[in-house]
Structure 1
Amino acid sequence: MDTLELIKYLEDKDTRRCGWGMDVIDTSFETMPSEFIGFAESDLQSSFDHKYINALSNAKRALDCQADRLLKLFGYYKESQDKFWGFPKKLELIQKFEIIAPRVLNKINKTRNLMEHQYIKPKSDQVEDFLDIASLFIASTDHYASNFIDHVDYINEDNKDYEKYSEVNINIPLSVTRRGH
Structure 2
Amino acid sequence: MDIKEFCIAHKFDMSKCEIALGGGSFGMADLKTSPAEFLSLAEDDFERGGLAALVNATTNAKRAIVSQLDQLLISFGYQPLRWNVPKKIERIRALGLMAPSLLRKVVDMRNILEHEYATPELGKVEEALDIASLFVMSASAMFIPFDDVLEFSHPDSTVMTGTVTHITAGLNRKSGRVFYTVYAYEPGEYAGRCVGQCEIESGHVLFEAMVKLSASLMLRYKVNQALSDFESAFAYP
TM class by smaller structure: 0.7 to 0.9
State the shift of 1:70 in Å. Answer: 1.2
Could you tell me whether the CA contact under 8 Å between 1:70 and 1:144 is conserved in 2? no
Report matched runs for 1:80-159 at 5 Å.
80-81=80-81, 84-143=82-141, 149-153=147-151
Report matched runs for 1:1-181 at 5 Å.
2-4=11-13, 6-8=14-16, 10=17, 17=20, 19-77=21-79, 80-81=80-81, 84-143=82-141, 149-153=147-151, 161=158, 168-172=166-170, 174=179, 176=200, 178-179=202-203
State the shift of 1:116 in Å. Answer: 1.0
Q: 1:22 aligns to what SS in structure 2?
A: coil
Flag structure 1 segments of 5+ consecutive residues without an equivalent.
Answer: none
Q: 1:50 aligns to what SS in structure 2?
A: helix
Q: C-alpha offsets along residues 109-135 of structure 1, whole Å, 9 cap, x if unaligned?
A: 111111011111110111111111111
Q: 1:170 aligns to what SS in structure 2?
A: strand
Using CA pairs under 8 Å that are at least 6 residues apart, name the structure with larger relative contact order, 1 or 2: 1
RMSD, matched Cα: 3.0
Flag structure 2 segments of 5+ consecutive residues without an equivalent.
Answer: 1-9, 172-178, 180-198, 204-237
Q: 1:110 to 1:16 in 2, by over 3 A?
A: closer
Q: 1:150 to 1:91 in 2, by over 3 A?
A: same
**Which structure shows the higher helix fraction?**
1
* Structure 1, 101-110 or 61-70: larger mean CA deviation: 101-110
Q: C-alpha offsets along residues 50-105 of structure 1, whole Å, 9 cap, x if unaligned?
A: 1110111111110111011011022222xx33xx3211221111111121211121
- Aligned equivalents of 1:146, 1:90: Cα separation in 2: 22
Q: 1:28 to 1:113 in 2, by over 3 A?
A: same
Between the two proteins, what is the percent identity of the paired residues?
Answer: 31
State the shift of 1:148 in Å. Answer: 5.3
- Aligned equivalents of 2:91, 2:154: Cα separation in 1: 36
- TM-score after normalising by structure 2: 0.59
Q: 1:30 aligns to what SS in structure 2?
A: coil
- TM-score after normalising by structure 1: 0.75
